[in-house]
Structure 1
Amino acid sequence: MAQNLYGPGVRMGNWNEDVYLEEELMKDFLEKRDKGQLLIQRNRRLKECLLRPMQLSITEDGYVHNGDKVMLVNLDHPEVEADLFLRGDLSLCLTPDEIRAHLSDKFEVPCGLSAAPTKIPVGRNTFTILSADSEAVGQVLRYGQNFRLGITGGFEDIMLYLSSDHRTLLKSSKRSWLQEVYLTDEVSYLNCWQAALPDPQLRLEYEGFPVPANVKILINHCHTNRGLAAHRHLFLSTYFGKEAEVAAHTHLDSHRVEKPRNHWVLVTGSPRQDSPTMLHLPKPPVEDTCALEQATDPGAQ
């Protein structure tokens, strides 16, 4: 009578090839880990650079200068044209593509932008004021003067410039289909911007005056004459979560005045050690509406 010698320990099929394949996969994994080429390692390096704490420039005369490190912040305001929108102060941020960010430890250009509800200066939202006229670093930025906005993203060997160009059928913003704003490493006239006063009646009179820091201004693109705008009601699913879209478009109300979407503040650093930016400083009693109400009505608590 024949005896069945088959058991769980018997190797069948291409068992030898499977063993060698597992050894090669493990060898390749260990080699990539030692070189820091694993997906999780590259992902961690990119996030560390983008979220690296940065130090903003501290202005002594109250104005913005060439070479200053600032944040571009769209202050909190209600969006009357939509029921659902992001509240709070939104800062202009570098936003790499979500899929490409998982495949590389450096972002590819052109790179996108968004407005995120963060007021802490990090690598992805700290911009440098650069002169477009080859003027010396440290000179005061003036209304109507061309300048560039550069960002390193936390890296030391990269400089990207805020740029825009006319809308086409193949190139526009993702949600609003308006003129796109992006970051590129090529220096051209598409990188040039100008600061303007929000009040149209005083705009021409302030031409050539120094641009104050931590005050609402307009940032207009020189080539297309479109204003930088934050769309709080249009959301983007980014590498860091839900953020608002940023585009180049001038939004005017019935009085031909730019809406708060186009208002930006060049935020500088705070001289106090407990406040990273000027936005974190308490408002003076004159600007505090609660203090004014208590002053007019002593019985109010």
Structure 2
Amino acid sequence: MNYNNSVLIGNWNEERLKNEFELKLFLRKRERHELLLQKSRTLFSNLLKERPLAISGTYVLFGYNVQIVATDMSGFASSGKSRYGLALSSLVSERQVDYIQNIDDGCLMTLSPITTPCCRNTFVILSAKDESLRGVKMNYGDEFLLRAENYGDPQSPPLYVRYTPEGAPSSTDRMPIQLSSSKDSCCRWTTMPLLPRDRLEGLGSPVKTSTKLIIKNCVADKNLCVMSQNWMRTFFGPECGVTCKNYLDIHKRCTAENIFSLVSDVETKTKG
């Protein structure tokens, strides 16, 4: 064989060994379910598994699953058309999917256009005074906790929706609401009627499902609100940030960013 300018030269053995090593590494990761595709599928299976809401009747009852829905804010459906309703949901980011395939301590909270009841957007509403209460009507002014259930690992410690007050001025896109395993006063929330004229008389009356109301953090004394200018791309599509801030119009009434409803009834949710 004569060598000339058309003869190709390369590290043939090195390339072959490299390809064999990458193939063996791929097969080993696939057997151990360590591939990113497999982890993503597990994440979707755990967090998007539907959880039917228990029929609790006309009123919100302690011990039942509820959804926190911003009824007056529009989201984006898969078809590209806007629709109203954003559900408070737990989020596992792209950086966490390598070692987390379920909700965990430190997961951020967002508002998602996906309002179908599932593991990531349903919470057990508990009385802050007595968590063992079940079937008791919740009244305006009662302090409550929102506990997220890890259905993939029932032995895991309970997680609560917690607001972290800012100790110093921070950026406007800061997202201070997340899941936490530490149950302290920052996990306490309360409700009050939407209209200011109804708040004095409505204090102590039962909360009806799907009624528009204000949710306030007991420590920060600020309303739960939609960060309408802070949209982000996630594994579950575009989602909006959530924080605690008071939005008032010129008449001192809360705007759409602060209006939420507690959905604990499938029939009520369908009507809304």
TM-score w.r.t. length of structure 2: 0.83
2:176 alignment partner, SS class: strand
* Cα deviation digits, residues 49-68 of structure 1 (max 9, x gap): 111111112113x2111111
5+ residue gaps, structure 1, are 79-84, 271-276, 284-301
Q: 1:141 to 1:226 in 2, by over 3 A?
A: same
**Kept after mapping to 2: 8 A contact 1:91/1:119:** yes
Instruction: Give 1:225's aligned amino acid.
Output: D
Between 1:229-238 and 1:36-45, the stretch displaced more is 229-238
Task: Give the C-alpha shift of residue 137 in structure 1.
Answer: 2.8
* Aligned partners of 1:56 and 1:70 also within 8 Å: yes
Which whole-Å CA distance do the structure 2 matches of 1:14 and 1:108 have between them? 47
C-alpha offsets along residues 162-193 of structure 1, whole Å, 9 cap, x if unaligned? Answer: 1112224586662xx5x722222221111110
1:161 aligns with 2:164: no
Identify the residue that residue 127 of structure 1 maps to in structure 2.
Answer: 123
2:30 aligned with 1:52, yes or no? no
Superposed displacement of residue 29, structure 1: 2.3
| Equivalent residues in 2 for 1:183-222, closer than 5 Å | 183-222=179-218
For residues 12 and 259 of structure 1, the distance between their equivalents in structure 2, rounded to whole angstroms, comes to: 68
Deviation at 1:260, TM superposition (A): 2.2
How far did residue 200 of structure 1 move? Answer: 1.8
Q: Which amino acid aligns with 1:183?
A: L
Which amino acid in structure 1 is aligned with residue 28 of structure 2? Answer: E
Q: Give the superposition deviation at 1:266.
A: 0.7
2:268 corresponds, among 278, 284, 287, to: 278
Whole-angstrom distance in 2 between the partners of 1:25 and 1:170:
48
Q: Percent identity?
A: 27
CA separation of 1:21 and 1:127: change in aligned 2, threshold 3 A: same
Contact preservation (8 Å) 1:221, 1:227: yes
Residue 180 (structure 1) aligns with = 176
- 1:109 to partner: Cα distance: 3.3
Q: Where does structure 2 lack aligned partners over 5 or more consecutive residues?
A: 75-80
Moved more, 131-140 or 31-40: 131-140
State which of 62, 65, 85 in structure 2 corresponds to 1:69: 65
Q: Is the 8 A contact 1:52 1:154 kept in 2?
A: no
What is the CA-CA distance between 1:145 and the residue it aligns to? 1.5
Q: Which residue of 1 aligns with 2:261?
A: 265
Change (3 A) 1:26 1:107: farther
Distance 1:225 1:12, change over 3 A: closer
Q: Residue deviations 1:108-155, cap 9 Å, x none?
A: 531112222233111211111022212433122222121111223653
Instruction: Give the TM-score normalised by structure 1.
Output: 0.76
Structure with the larger strand share: 2
Larger Rg: 1
Q: Does 1:232 align with 2:231?
A: no
In 1, Cα distance between the equivalents of 2:180 and 2:171? 15
Give the direction of change, closer, same or farther, for the CA distance of 1:154–1:185 in structure 2 (3 Å limit): same
Counterpart amino acid of 1:47? F
Let me know the Cα RMSD of the aligned residues.
Answer: 3.0
What corresponds to 1:37 in structure 2?
34
For the Cα contact (< 8 Å) 1:125–1:153, is it kept in 2?
no
Does the aligned pair in 2 maintain the 1:165–1:223 contact within 8 Å? no
Query: What number of residue pairs does the alignment pair up?
Result: 262
Tell me the SS of whatever aligns to 1:26: helix
